[in-house]
Amino acid sequence: MSYKIPAVMSLGLLMASCTAMDPQGAARQQAETYYGRPYDQLSGREKMALEDHLARQNNQAWHTTAHVASGVGRLLQGAGVLVLGAKH
């Protein structure tokens, strides 16, 4: 189980970083889902709105992953203190 937590966090970071690295590429992939037509057929305003929306989702994913990682760290730190306290 201890190996699953870092793997899940790593996967979350990897997925979140995709949009940050190539926002237009992410928008090209998601245009059909959001607008029902290819990215090339969207107006400039629609392209910007989609890219902004995906960027906000990306930022939210980064914050969520950071909060999870921080919580896991605190949990492990607390467990370590309890284990050390039990040994003494």
pLDDT tens track for 55-78: 888 766 666 776 677 777 777 777
Residue-level pLDDT at 9 = 53
Q: In this model, does residue 50 exceed pLDDT 80?
A: yes
The H-assigned helical ranges of 22-43 are 23-35
Q: Please enumerate in sequence order all residues whose Cβ is within 8 A of that of 16, keeping only pairs 6 or more positions apart, or say none.
A: 58, 61, 62, 65
Residue 38 has pLDDT above 90, yes or no: yes
Which amino acid belongs to residue 42?
L
